[in-house]
Structure 1
Amino acid sequence: MAEHGARIALVAHDRLKPDMALWVARHRDALTRCEIVSTATTGAMVLRECPDISLTRVLSGPLGGDQQIGALIAEGRIDALFFFVDPMTPMPHDVDVKALLRVALVHDVACAFSARSADLLVAGGALLRA
Protein backbone atom coordinates (compact mmCIF):
# COMPACT_ATOMS: atom_id res chain seq x y z
CA MET A 1 0.00 0.00 0.00
CA ALA A 2 1.34 3.46 -0.85
CA GLU A 3 2.22 5.84 1.94
CA HIS A 4 0.41 9.14 2.17
CA GLY A 5 1.23 12.13 4.29
CA ALA A 6 -0.44 12.54 7.64
CA ARG A 7 -3.16 15.06 8.38
CA ILE A 8 -1.49 17.51 10.73
CA ALA A 9 -2.33 20.72 12.58
CA LEU A 10 0.17 23.53 13.21
CA VAL A 11 -0.34 26.03 16.02
CA ALA A 12 2.16 28.30 17.73
CA HIS A 13 1.92 30.99 20.36
CA ASP A 14 3.12 34.42 19.22
CA ARG A 15 6.70 34.23 20.55
CA LEU A 16 7.17 30.79 18.97
CA LYS A 17 5.66 31.41 15.53
CA PRO A 18 9.11 32.10 14.02
CA ASP A 19 10.34 28.80 15.51
CA MET A 20 7.39 26.99 13.91
CA ALA A 21 8.13 28.57 10.52
CA LEU A 22 11.79 27.50 10.75
CA TRP A 23 10.77 23.99 11.86
CA VAL A 24 8.48 23.68 8.83
CA ALA A 25 11.31 24.88 6.58
CA ARG A 26 13.63 22.17 7.98
CA HIS A 27 11.00 19.49 7.30
CA ARG A 28 9.66 20.98 4.07
CA ASP A 29 10.19 17.83 1.97
CA ALA A 30 8.23 15.58 4.34
CA LEU A 31 5.53 18.18 4.96
CA THR A 32 4.75 18.66 1.28
CA ARG A 33 3.13 15.19 1.37
CA CYS A 34 0.92 16.09 4.35
CA GLU A 35 -2.50 17.67 4.61
CA ILE A 36 -1.86 20.67 6.84
CA VAL A 37 -4.29 22.85 8.74
CA SER A 38 -3.07 25.82 10.75
CA THR A 39 -4.38 28.70 12.75
CA ALA A 40 -4.41 31.90 10.70
CA THR A 41 -1.43 33.82 12.06
CA THR A 42 0.79 30.77 12.44
CA GLY A 43 -0.12 29.73 8.90
CA ALA A 44 0.70 33.19 7.54
CA MET A 45 4.16 33.09 9.11
CA VAL A 46 4.78 29.55 7.83
CA LEU A 47 3.76 30.61 4.31
CA ARG A 48 6.13 33.60 4.43
CA GLU A 49 9.00 31.23 5.23
CA CYS A 50 7.79 28.37 2.97
CA PRO A 51 5.52 29.69 0.21
CA ASP A 52 5.55 26.27 -1.51
CA ILE A 53 3.84 24.55 1.45
CA SER A 54 0.14 23.92 0.95
CA LEU A 55 -1.96 24.51 4.03
CA THR A 56 -5.49 25.42 5.01
CA ARG A 57 -5.89 28.20 7.53
CA VAL A 58 -8.67 28.43 10.10
CA LEU A 59 -9.31 31.42 12.35
CA SER A 60 -6.59 32.68 14.67
CA GLY A 61 -6.48 30.88 18.01
CA PRO A 62 -8.13 33.61 20.12
CA LEU A 63 -10.90 34.01 17.54
CA GLY A 64 -11.85 30.33 17.53
CA GLY A 65 -9.11 28.63 15.53
CA ASP A 66 -8.07 26.43 18.47
CA GLN A 67 -11.67 25.25 18.71
CA GLN A 68 -11.86 24.65 14.95
CA ILE A 69 -8.78 22.44 15.10
CA GLY A 70 -10.21 20.70 18.16
CA ALA A 71 -13.34 19.91 16.16
CA LEU A 72 -11.23 18.42 13.36
CA ILE A 73 -9.47 16.24 15.93
CA ALA A 74 -12.81 15.11 17.39
CA GLU A 75 -13.98 14.20 13.87
CA GLY A 76 -10.88 12.03 13.34
CA ARG A 77 -9.50 14.36 10.67
CA ILE A 78 -6.15 15.15 12.34
CA ASP A 79 -3.38 12.60 12.94
CA ALA A 80 -0.87 14.83 14.73
CA LEU A 81 -0.88 18.19 16.50
CA PHE A 82 2.28 20.31 16.43
CA PHE A 83 1.59 23.06 18.97
CA PHE A 84 4.57 25.19 19.98
CA VAL A 85 3.36 26.41 23.37
CA ASP A 86 4.84 29.40 25.21
CA PRO A 87 4.56 28.39 28.86
CA MET A 88 5.89 31.73 30.13
CA THR A 89 3.33 34.08 28.58
CA PRO A 90 -0.23 34.33 29.92
CA MET A 91 -2.83 33.66 27.23
CA PRO A 92 -6.19 35.45 27.29
CA HIS A 93 -7.72 32.43 25.54
CA ASP A 94 -6.14 29.90 27.92
CA VAL A 95 -9.41 27.97 28.25
CA ASP A 96 -9.45 27.38 24.47
CA VAL A 97 -5.86 26.14 24.56
CA LYS A 98 -6.68 23.76 27.40
CA ALA A 99 -9.73 22.49 25.51
CA LEU A 100 -7.61 21.83 22.40
CA LEU A 101 -5.03 19.91 24.43
CA ARG A 102 -7.75 17.94 26.19
CA VAL A 103 -9.46 16.86 22.95
CA ALA A 104 -6.08 15.87 21.46
CA LEU A 105 -5.40 13.69 24.50
CA VAL A 106 -8.90 12.22 24.59
CA HIS A 107 -8.63 11.21 20.92
CA ASP A 108 -5.05 9.91 21.27
CA VAL A 109 -3.59 12.27 18.67
CA ALA A 110 0.19 12.42 18.47
CA CYS A 111 1.33 15.76 19.92
CA ALA A 112 4.53 17.80 19.93
CA PHE A 113 4.88 20.98 21.96
CA SER A 114 8.38 22.12 20.95
CA ALA A 115 10.72 21.87 17.98
CA ARG A 116 12.65 19.06 19.66
CA SER A 117 9.56 16.94 20.36
CA ALA A 118 8.31 17.69 16.83
CA ASP A 119 11.63 16.47 15.41
CA LEU A 120 11.21 13.23 17.35
CA LEU A 121 7.69 12.70 15.99
CA VAL A 122 8.94 13.22 12.45
CA ALA A 123 11.87 10.84 13.02
CA GLY A 124 9.39 8.28 14.34
CA GLY A 125 7.29 8.41 11.18
CA ALA A 126 4.43 10.59 12.42
CA LEU A 127 4.17 12.33 9.04
CA LEU A 128 3.33 9.12 7.20
CA ARG A 129 -0.03 7.37 6.87
CA ALA A 130 -0.56 3.99 5.33
Structure 2
Amino acid sequence: MNIALIAHDKKKEKMIDFVVKNESYFKKHTLFATGTTGTKIMENTNLTISLKKSGPLGGDQELGAMVANQQLDLIIFFRDPLTAQPHEPDVSALLRLCDVYNTPLATNERTAELFIHHIKKD
Protein backbone atom coordinates (compact mmCIF):
# COMPACT_ATOMS: atom_id res chain seq x y z
CA MET A 1 0.00 0.00 0.00
CA ASN A 2 0.98 3.61 -0.54
CA ILE A 3 0.41 5.49 2.72
CA ALA A 4 0.76 9.23 3.37
CA LEU A 5 1.57 10.59 6.83
CA ILE A 6 0.80 14.20 7.76
CA ALA A 7 0.64 15.99 11.11
CA HIS A 8 0.07 19.55 12.14
CA ASP A 9 2.77 21.02 14.41
CA LYS A 10 0.98 20.33 17.69
CA LYS A 11 0.30 16.72 16.59
CA LYS A 12 3.77 15.78 15.32
CA GLU A 13 4.85 14.10 18.56
CA LYS A 14 1.63 12.08 18.61
CA MET A 15 2.31 11.01 15.00
CA ILE A 16 5.87 10.00 15.85
CA ASP A 17 4.66 7.95 18.81
CA PHE A 18 1.98 6.32 16.65
CA VAL A 19 4.43 5.40 13.88
CA VAL A 20 7.04 4.11 16.34
CA LYS A 21 4.36 1.92 17.96
CA ASN A 22 3.36 0.57 14.53
CA GLU A 23 6.78 0.60 12.83
CA SER A 24 6.65 -3.11 11.92
CA TYR A 25 3.39 -2.45 10.05
CA PHE A 26 4.62 0.65 8.26
CA LYS A 27 7.88 -0.96 7.08
CA LYS A 28 5.80 -3.26 4.83
CA HIS A 29 4.39 -0.31 2.87
CA THR A 30 5.55 2.59 0.73
CA LEU A 31 5.41 5.78 2.76
CA PHE A 32 5.03 9.41 1.77
CA ALA A 33 4.88 12.42 4.07
CA THR A 34 4.97 16.15 4.18
CA GLY A 35 8.53 17.38 4.75
CA THR A 36 8.77 18.18 8.43
CA THR A 37 6.55 15.31 9.57
CA GLY A 38 8.40 12.76 7.45
CA THR A 39 11.82 14.02 8.52
CA LYS A 40 10.90 13.76 12.20
CA ILE A 41 9.49 10.26 11.72
CA MET A 42 12.67 9.11 9.96
CA GLU A 43 14.79 10.59 12.77
CA ASN A 44 12.89 8.41 15.25
CA THR A 45 12.48 5.19 13.25
CA ASN A 46 14.27 3.02 10.71
CA LEU A 47 11.68 3.82 8.06
CA THR A 48 12.34 5.32 4.65
CA ILE A 49 9.80 7.94 3.60
CA SER A 50 9.44 9.78 0.32
CA LEU A 51 9.27 13.42 1.39
CA LYS A 52 7.09 16.09 -0.14
CA LYS A 53 7.35 19.78 0.68
CA SER A 54 6.27 21.02 4.09
CA GLY A 55 2.48 21.37 4.25
CA PRO A 56 2.37 25.19 4.19
CA LEU A 57 4.84 25.20 1.27
CA GLY A 58 2.73 22.93 -0.94
CA GLY A 59 3.17 19.46 0.53
CA ASP A 60 -0.56 19.03 1.15
CA GLN A 61 -1.17 19.92 -2.49
CA GLU A 62 1.48 17.45 -3.67
CA LEU A 63 -0.24 14.68 -1.73
CA GLY A 64 -3.59 15.91 -3.06
CA ALA A 65 -2.29 15.44 -6.60
CA MET A 66 -1.33 11.88 -5.67
CA VAL A 67 -4.88 11.31 -4.42
CA ALA A 68 -6.32 12.72 -7.65
CA ASN A 69 -4.07 10.36 -9.64
CA GLN A 70 -5.10 7.46 -7.39
CA GLN A 71 -1.53 6.91 -6.18
CA LEU A 72 -2.37 6.77 -2.46
CA ASP A 73 -4.28 4.01 -0.69
CA LEU A 74 -4.52 5.61 2.76
CA ILE A 75 -3.80 8.95 4.41
CA ILE A 76 -3.15 9.36 8.10
CA PHE A 77 -3.41 13.05 8.92
CA PHE A 78 -3.25 14.04 12.57
CA ARG A 79 -4.95 17.42 12.38
CA ASP A 80 -5.02 20.08 15.06
CA PRO A 81 -8.64 21.27 15.07
CA LEU A 82 -8.00 23.86 17.79
CA THR A 83 -5.34 25.91 16.01
CA ALA A 84 -5.90 28.02 12.89
CA GLN A 85 -3.68 26.87 10.05
CA PRO A 86 -2.27 29.41 7.56
CA HIS A 87 -2.70 26.85 4.78
CA GLU A 88 -6.25 25.79 5.72
CA PRO A 89 -7.48 26.04 2.10
CA ASP A 90 -4.85 23.44 1.14
CA VAL A 91 -5.94 21.18 3.99
CA SER A 92 -9.60 21.52 2.96
CA ALA A 93 -8.71 20.73 -0.65
CA LEU A 94 -6.87 17.57 0.41
CA LEU A 95 -9.81 16.41 2.54
CA ARG A 96 -12.19 17.15 -0.34
CA LEU A 97 -10.06 15.13 -2.77
CA CYS A 98 -10.10 12.17 -0.39
CA ASP A 99 -13.89 12.31 -0.47
CA VAL A 100 -14.03 12.73 -4.26
CA TYR A 101 -11.67 9.81 -4.92
CA ASN A 102 -12.88 7.66 -2.02
CA THR A 103 -9.43 7.55 -0.40
CA PRO A 104 -9.48 6.40 3.23
CA LEU A 105 -8.46 9.23 5.55
CA ALA A 106 -7.80 9.01 9.28
CA THR A 107 -7.69 12.41 10.96
CA ASN A 108 -7.08 11.16 14.50
CA GLU A 109 -5.16 8.42 16.26
CA ARG A 110 -8.12 6.18 17.07
CA THR A 111 -9.33 6.12 13.47
CA ALA A 112 -5.80 5.39 12.26
CA GLU A 113 -5.59 2.49 14.74
CA LEU A 114 -8.87 1.08 13.42
CA PHE A 115 -7.69 1.30 9.81
CA ILE A 116 -4.41 -0.45 10.60
CA HIS A 117 -6.12 -3.11 12.68
CA HIS A 118 -8.54 -3.82 9.84
CA ILE A 119 -5.83 -3.90 7.17
CA LYS A 120 -3.68 -6.26 9.25
CA LYS A 121 -6.55 -8.73 9.30
CA ASP A 122 -6.74 -8.87 5.47
Same fold (TM over 0.5): yes
Give, in angstroms, the shift of residue 27 of structure 1: 0.7
Distance in 2, matches of 1:66 and 1:116, equals 22
Unaligned ranges ≥5, structure 2 = none
Q: Quickly say closer, same or farther: Cα 1:126–1:77, change in 2 above 3 A.
A: farther
Query: Which of 1 and 2 has higher RCO (CA within 8 Å, sep 6+)?
Result: 1
Query: How far has the Cα of 1:54 moved from its partner?
Result: 1.2
- The alignment's C-alpha RMSD in Å is 1.3
How many pairs align? 122
Matched residues in 1 for 2:119 and 2:19: separation?
Answer: 15
1:69-94 deviation line (CA, Å, top 9, x unaligned): 00001111000010000000000110
CA contact (8 A) 1:83 1:113 kept: yes
Letter in 2 for 1:56: S
What residue identity is the alignment partner of 1:41? Answer: T
Partner of 1:3: none
**2:99 alignment partner in structure 1:** 105
Q: What is the TM-score when the length of structure 2 is the normalising length? A: 0.96
Q: Could you tell me how far 1:49 is from its partner in structure 2?
A: 1.3
Runs of at least 4 residues off by over 2 Å? none
Structure 1 segments unaligned to the other structure (5+ residues): 1-5
